[in-house]
Amino acid sequence: MSFTALSPEIVSRDGTSMVLSMGPQHPSTHGVLQIMLEIEGESIVKAEPEIGYLHTGIEKNCENQFWTTAQTNVERMDYLAPSSNALCYALGVERLLGITNDIPRRAQQIRVLNAELTRIASHCVWLGTGGLDLGALSVFFYTFDLRENILDMQEAAGGARMHPNYIRVGGVNGDLPEGYLERLDALIEKFPGRMRDLRALVQANPILQDRMVDVGILSPEEAVQWSVTGPSLRASGVAYDVRRAFPYSGYEEYDFDLPTRDEGDSYARFLVRLDEMEESMRIIRQVRERLEPGPVVIDDAKIVPPPKETIALSMEALIHHFKIMTEGFRVPPGDVYQSVEGPRGELGFYIVSDGGNHPYRIRTRPASMYNLQALKGMAPGNLIADLVVMIGSMDPVFGEVDR
């Protein structure tokens, strides 16, 4: 985290190379990343990313929260894709509770809808800020306009733009609000045109291609060795996706492709993410067509608080509500590893319960951290200017890297 903590070989100089600290306040580091670079002229000999500047102890905090309130913290790890985090946590706790098969169909469909919307929103930020890294300012406005539509929908459903806390253990928090589906239809209609604009703006742009093609190449072996997952792994040609390999929330019902590329460079990762946005929209359209009426939470008042309207009418509902709000619910002892495909790759939670109303331990598998670590293997031999492209193409979120 600081100069004195650096490994000895990187601060030693043999006369030809020098050590340069990039960040943690560098605009292209997407947060607070410091990279200690050993450089010879403009080319990198060794890169040592220093993380931890955004460490907030979320895992420790979760151990001191109820199972229900810990989710609020969990959503704040990957702040660009809160619904993916919430979904993964809810699925894990549901497996410990043994209620995985009782989740109503409509709740599962709404969960998939939210997870895919959050993926598009997250890729919009990646594309916008990635464009800024390369000096393409206008992309930012196109993508953030699209993202704003999704955030508006999140706000309508969950009450907050960035952290809706909409997906809960046992289902989702209330049915879709009035006017939500109209907004969704408008988004579905708007999306193809917007993607055409974006592709016209960036994909065929020769300046962007010059910057990205053959920069930061990851071979499939290297990608697997560094535990890279998600779009970055698929850009190296390995078609591993948690949605396909270990389906959850009914993903096996939907028809979608896994975009892959063989090149493994920054441009391939860029194209895979663009294609992935369209595949996500394909899933969203299917969910929209198949959305069924019905309950959105499981019928168990010991886990999900009863609806607000019933509290004034039923003594039992009032007691259940009071018990869940004041002491939460208990989860049978055991441990479970649950993963979902987040926008950045395999997001996993290793959850241990001791039978109490607090999580005993929540270990996150941070996809961003493993992806970022691969920088150590990619950066040497490249120019400093290309390092910016590489960081952008791995799409790290420091809320998740540091937690």
Partner 1 sequence: MPSTQSPPLLGAAIDPTALRPAIDDAAIERVDRAQLHARLAQLKDQGYSMLLDLGAADYPAREPRFDVVYHLLKMPLRKTGVEQVGKPARLRVLCAAGEDEPLPTATDLWLSADWAEREIFDLFGIRFEGHPDLRRIQMPHDWEGHPLRKDYPLRGPARERSPRPAFALKSNVNAGTPPSGKTLEALSEQIARRAAERGPGNGERNA
User: 326-355: which residues touch partner 1 (CB under 8 A)?
Assistant: 329-337, 339, 346, 348, 350, 352-355
In terms of Cα–Cα distance, which of 136, 260, 137, 270 is closest to 214?
A: 270
Q: How far is CA 156 from CA 134, 145, 152, 166, 393, in A?
A: 34, 17, 6, 10, 31
Residues 353-372 that bind partner 1 (CB under 8 A): 353-356, 360-361, 363, 365, 369-370
- Rule CB under 8 A: is residue 45 a binding residue for partner 1? no
- The residue (of 262 and 292) whose beta carbon lies closer to partner 1 is 262
Residues 161-220 that bind partner 1 (CB under 8 A): 220
Residue type, 282: R
Size of the site for partner 1 (CB under 8 A): 72
- Helices 137-158/180-198 angle, 10° precision: 170
Strand partners, 4: none
| Min separation Cβ 27 and partner 1, Å | 23
Residues 74-133 that bind partner 1 (CB under 8 A): 95-99, 102
Interface pick for partner 1 out of 79, 140, 180, 240 (rule CB under 8 A): 240
Q: How many C-alpha atoms does 171 have within 13 Å on its Cβ side?
A: 23
- Rule CB under 8 A: is residue 308 a binding residue for partner 1? no
- The residue (of 194 and 361) whose beta carbon lies closer to partner 1 is 361
- The residue (of 1 and 186) whose beta carbon lies closer to partner 1 is 1
Distance CA 319, CA 95 (A): 26
Distance CA 294, CA 281 (A): 24
- Rule CB under 8 A: is residue 152 a binding residue for partner 1? no
Residues with Cβ within 8 Å of residue 250, at least 6 apart in sequence: 105, 108, 109, 112
- The residue (of 302 and 308) whose beta carbon lies closer to partner 1 is 302
Interface pick for partner 1 out of 2, 16, 182, 252 (rule CB under 8 A): 2
Q: CB under 8 A: which stretch of 106-114, 119-127, 203-211, 297-305 binds partner 1?
A: 297-305
- Rule CB under 8 A: is residue 395 a binding residue for partner 1? no
* Joined tokens for residue 385: 């200017």
- Rule CB under 8 A: is residue 282 a binding residue for partner 1? no
The dihedral region occupied by 178, where left means phi > 0, alpha psi between -120 and 50, and beta the remainder, is beta
